[in-house]
Amino acid sequence: MKIAIFGLGYVGFTAACCLTGQGHTVVGVDVNADKVSEINAGQPPIKEPKVAELLTEALGRNLIRATVEIPNLSDVDLAIVCVGTPSSTDGSHNMNFVAEVTRQIAKAVSPDRARPLTVAYRSTFRPGTVRQLIEPIFQSYLGDQTAQAVEIVYNPEFLREASAVDDFFNPPKIVVGTADGNRSAVMDEMHEGLDAPVFYTAFEEAEITKFVDNTWHATKVAFANEIGRICHSMGVSAKTMHEIFVSDTKLNISAYYTRPGGAFGGSCLPKDVRALQHIAGEVGAHTHLIDSLLQTNQAHKTYQAQDIMARLPEGGRVLMAGLAFKAGTDDLRESPNVDIARRLLQAGYQLSVYDPAIKPADLRGQNLGYAFTHLPNVGSLLVDHTTAEAGPWDLVVGSNRIINELNLGDTEVVRTYEYD
């Protein structure tokens, strides 16, 4: 393919070199004339392993050139936008460079093409940017001919500095956002030969990917360093701790606990987080991330309760399917479902609970104390399977997988233990 890359910074230049390594012809566009001259002279503008060799080979095969001018796009198959999105004063991304490049492409592209020019954006975008900024710019120049002229794609990159070339050829995943979530033949050709899971989505799911990934990486680093400070302050080997921690790929380093859904609770997590907060305070480790965990967990319970109430009429009838922390148990200790149930009752809703594992007479010790402290009338809330299915209910709250036992017809169900 013939590919034009707009923006020859870290991402754009690395992509340009790697794409020539796959045999594509690349023209790189950048406003910095010195950078353009360096590239054409075989001098990489960045320090990154393997890019110099790729650039030298590409120049020798006439597969790459750089320019400050917008190239003729008539025979270009794919335009990749990699310009920067620097932080604004309020922390949001400054989209001026993206908007300007989009305008330049829109002015340069012709609708009289055998197939639309695929324009793939790799800059980090806030969800909604393609539909609210990119598409309107193209439509303002091309009008009804937009679909004939361009195929808009959002294709985030996952390159790490110092291993960017290896990451390009061995990506952890490939994410392609399109208007309807369907495949793009041009993007399939670009990614041909790469061994990675491929996800075609709507624009918005693709756009949020980089935010989630990078924030998760930042969270892991911050968490690791907070634990490291605690270990160091207490004379504990952080290296040994880490070796033990990462050996657990069933729970610790895995997909478990990362699916958006209900708040955490139960007999272990809240108690142990509080205890670690206390330890960190005693040794002066200043663990701000760990200190925020219970607060953000409480905020999530509030959010879910408010979301439920917003769906209900005043004084509405609610069935909660699952009161215990986990289905099939009667452990109510710090169950987020108990907290949501309490809030619904306090707000004046008519609440019933289906949870066959819970029998008030069988509750013991701290479990008994927690249940009757937060829901003194828990026994009167419980209903059997027949009653749960009979209703009628204004809303059913699926708090855990017990909801799957019920046939509720067309009654509205909101599942708090997972988000679609």
Q: Give the Cα-Cα-Cα angle 389, 417, 158 (nearest 5 degrees).
A: 145
CA distance 306 to 257: 23
The two three-digit tokens of residue 360, written as one number:
């008030």
Average the pLDDT over 10-19 and give the result.
Answer: 96
CA distance 257 to 265: 12
pLDDT tens digits along 231-287: 999 999 999 999 999 999 999 999 999 999 999 998 889 999 999 999 999 999 999
Burial class (CB in 10 A: 0-12, 13-18, 19+), 164: buried
DSSP 8-state code for residue 391: -
- Going across the sheet that includes 317-321, the strands are 350-354, 317-321, 395-398, 413-415
Residue 318: strand pairing partners: 351, 395
pLDDT tens digits along 284-301: 999 999 999 999 999 999
- pLDDT of amino acid 363: 87
The two three-digit tokens of residue 284, written as one number:
């002066």
Contact 30, 104 (CB under 8 A): no
Check if 18 is active-site. Answer: no
pTM of the entire predicted model = 0.87
Average the pLDDT over 140-161 and give the result.
Answer: 95
Work out the pLDDT band at 87, boundaries 50, 70, 90. Answer: confident
Contact 209, 123 (CB under 8 A): no
Contact 168, 151 (CB under 8 A): no
φ, ψ of residue 194 to 5 degrees: the values are: -90, 130
pLDDT tens digits along 394-410: 999 999 999 999 999 99
List, in sequence order, every beta strand (DSSP E) within 155-194: 174-178
φ, ψ of residue 28 to 5 degrees: the values are: -100, 135
| List 17, 18, 82, 268, catalytic entry | 268
Residue 414: strand pairing partners: 397
The two three-digit tokens of residue 219, written as one number:
């969270």
Comparing CA positions, the residue from 79, 102, 292, 111 lying closest to residue 187 is: 79
DSSP 8-state code for residue 133: I
**Domains annotated on the chain, with CATH:** 2-203 (3.40.50.720), 300-415 (3.40.50.720)
The two three-digit tokens of residue 112, written as one number:
């009289």
- Predicted confidence (pLDDT) at residue 366 exceeds the cutoff of 90: no
